Amino acid sequence: MFADRLINAIDKTQNPSVIGLDPQPELLPPSLRNEHKDKYGDSIEAVTKAIVEFNRQILHELKDIIPAVKPQLAYYEQLGWQGIKAFEETIAAAKKEGYIVIADGKRNDIGSTSAAYANAFLGKTKLFEKEISAFDVDAITVNPYLGSDGVAPFIDVCNKQEKGIFILVKTSNPSSSEIQDLQVNNKPVYLHVAALIKKWETGKGDRGFSSIGAVVGATHPNEAREIRSILPKSIFLVPGYGAQGATANDTMPCFDKQGYGAIINSSRKILYAYKEMKNMNFASAARNAAEHMKNDLHTALKSADIFPW
């Protein structure tokens, strides 16, 4: 099941990091931009080919030290169907290199429509008779605003296909408080969402974790501690480290007492590390930054006395 696969991959790399694959055309390395512009002109084809090549080299370079990647749908959608084709090619490359793939789409809708999203990312779509898998990632992020019947179709597919979801609880952005921190019976909305996730859990794997995870921003360590106490068996997908300002120490409340149960995301700081490391090619720079992040998390886990390896 998904939670076991993820925890095992974290053990194998001794690294609870996930790299966000958020390709922004203007941040791609100039060499790659120029090469593709010369070949294909200033076109969507050129940009999407450059993105896939960028992702492939990063994925190849980091495969022994990073357990999981998280492509962000928005950056592919902004290039239309060719962007979605690049998203599919990125997923295929990531799976071939052995990564766990978490699609960041924050999808949700009413029940029947949520079922179509669940099929798209985690399950199967029936054509005329044959079934296909559109994206076939390991997990996807899900928005909870519509309640149980919007989430249930994802959970069904998780159970059938051994996949996972991460439900938004407390997000990393500054204005997350506006709705998520509203007080309901002296408890913020995000703790009510955590209580719903507790209700939705459908069992845990051999490694002790559920495949119904939570998104909890590293920028809110106190809130993370509260959510962890309600959801001891959920894996937390943790954005906010690095470019958004949270430190490795800030992420510690997301882990359990054994140093498991959280995976910390970094996107721009890893992908575009080449900008800070002038004498290195972009993939080596990304590896360098990823190793730095791993060491940073190791140091924090050790000083929190929960280093598991």
- Rounded Cα gap, residues 79 and 95, in angstroms: 22
8 makes contact with a copy of itself (CB under 8 A)? no
Candidate list 27, 65, 84, 306; residue touching a copy of itself; CB under 8 A: 84
**38-67 mask for a copy of itself (x: CB under 8 A)?**
----xxx-xx--------------------
Q: Which two tokens stand for residue 234?
A: 């959920």
Q: Under rule CB under 8 A, which residues in 186-215 are in contact with a copy of itself?
A: 189, 192-193, 196
Has 106 been annotated as catalytic?
yes
Q: Under rule CB under 8 A, which residues in 20-39 are in contact with a copy of itself?
A: 22, 24-26, 33, 37
SS3 call for 166: strand
Q: What is the CA radius of gyration of the chain?
A: 19
176 makes contact with a copy of itself (CB under 8 A)? yes
**227-266 mask for a copy of itself (x: CB under 8 A)?**
------------x----x----------------------
Q: Tell me, what amino acid is at 171?
A: T
149 makes contact with a copy of itself (CB under 8 A)? yes
- Rounded Cα gap, residues 21 and 26, in angstroms: 14
Candidate list 96, 182, 206, 229; residue touching a copy of itself; CB under 8 A: 182
Question: Least CB distance from residue 89 to a copy of itself, whole Å?
Answer: 9
- Rounded Cα gap, residues 136 and 158, in angstroms: 12
Q: Under rule CB under 8 A, which residues in 98-137 are in contact with a copy of itself?
A: 104, 106-111, 113-114, 116-117, 119-121, 125-130, 132, 134-135
- Rounded Cα gap, residues 190 and 177, in angstroms: 9
Alpha helix segments (H runs only) across 172-272: 177-180, 189-200, 221-230, 248-251, 268-271
Marked catalytic residue, from 37, 49, 70, 106: 106
Q: Within the chain, how many helices (H) and strands (E) appear?
A: 13, 12
Active site positions, annotated: 106
